[in-house]
Structure 1
Amino acid sequence: MSIKEKELPDKTSRQPDLVTLLLGDHDVDIQKDSRSRVFGSFDDLFKFLPQLRVLDLSRTDITCLPTSVSCLVNLNYLNISHTDISSLPLELNKLRNLRQLNLRNTPHLTDIPYRAICSFKKNLKTLNLYCSSYKWSHKKGEMQIRLESLLTFKLQELGINMKVVQDLAVLLRSPLRRSVTFLSLDEMSSLAKDSLELSFSSMSNLQQVYISSCSTLTELTFPCEKLQALQVLFLKGLPLSRIATQPASANHFLPCLHRLHISQCHQLEEF
């Protein structure tokens, strides 16, 4: 079977003792936007996997989770990153033992009902929405998960995408900032240099940062002493003219940085 094709277990075979199901692709050479095709039906499959603890569907062509996901009451880890999923079903709230939920790089994800994940607040330790399309600003009455809702969770690691400066301000005022390990800022038309410096100074556990299409960001300063854990930095489509470090005499730019990607920053002169 090629890396582009994955086959689901036959539900007729019934595998009540199966604890791990890995259908995701993690090949280092895989194309960023590629998806593996999954053969078989999800509709009733999960009814026959009552002991499943780990489910990895990353980089597959799924667009939704079946309602039978509610049968996975023992699930600890769910990875649906790099998929075209657009919403989370309410049935997900049956997964009260879930500890890690990976929704990273989900470009069509717009719907996360509060009722779908509110039952996780006791056990969920890792929530990753880095580079997703989910927007945190919602009108009152819309029963979507909000930043304020996450304050009731006991998260140790948070990956998050921000598209609105006001949402970033809410995050910086909350204890959640100390849990942020992955931060993406996308299409923030009024993002200021000072706000970004405050973000970096407040999030000492940052490991990955992605900043894209922020049309007012002309200068960027990294507080090196606060970003000791930063490993990956992406800067794309920014009107940057200068990138600096603080203090300016820092011997090491960012000590743990091992990947730096700068693209479409045509005005950048000093770095």
Structure 2
Amino acid sequence: MGRLDGKVALITGGARGMGKAHARHFAAEGARVVIGDVLDDKGRAVADGIGADRCRFVHHDVTSEDDWAVAVDETIDAYGRIDVLVNNAGILRHAPVAAMDPAEFRQVVEVNLVGTWLGIRQVVPPMTAGGGGSIVNISSIEGFAGAAGLSAYSASKFGVRGLTRSAAQELGPAGIRVNSVHPGGVMTSMALAAAQTMTGVDGGGFLKSLPIARFAEPVEISRLVAFLASDEASYTTGAEFLADGGLLSGPGY
């Protein structure tokens, strides 16, 4: 018996990184999964690798209301219901405030924050009709502590915290739980690309300062997300979960 037996989940940004890990772990825990992404070939490859009986892929730009409607409709058409939404899709742009193009700032906020809001809005009716559900919003440690060069990313991830709490207040009476997960350093292509653009950062010193002195593997975040998606977290909503190796536990940040 898996932790997510009988659950149907829609996971955004499922073509790579943490989203791919979430999809694989959810399927291994018994869920049926639809993954959405703009990276069609990679997304289809992930779904094919999991298996047609457990996973489907849908092209999904999270900034598009129409794409959200299609993704939710296809999830219900494929599996009859939607129990879980994981708002995982996100982008990062690194630049000082004075040097950042306003269009880039808006793009980050549109994907990371507005996209999350659109997803919550879209799943409320079917989850309510189904008697409830779980929404897990992937934020970041940058939603707790800003960093130089990450103004857009930090602003969007701080916003996800507020959105999560407000949605939890609104949706609790409908049986819908809403929580946020805040990863620290995770071994994904996006994180590695970001590290290459950041100058003046002592990576070795950063790792040594952590109580758990390494980056996370994506599946380590997926296990936490799966718990929040499951009935084991039935009394948990409006909460924020750090998975950062202890980074924010002390003054070393």
Higher-Rg structure is 1
Task: Point out the structure with the larger helix share.
Answer: 2
Scaled by the length of structure 1, what TM-score is found? 0.30
Instruction: Compute the TM-score of the two structures, normalised by the length of structure 2.
Output: 0.31
Higher RCO structure (Cα 8 Å, ≥6 apart): 2
Instruction: Give the structure with the higher percent strand.
Output: 1
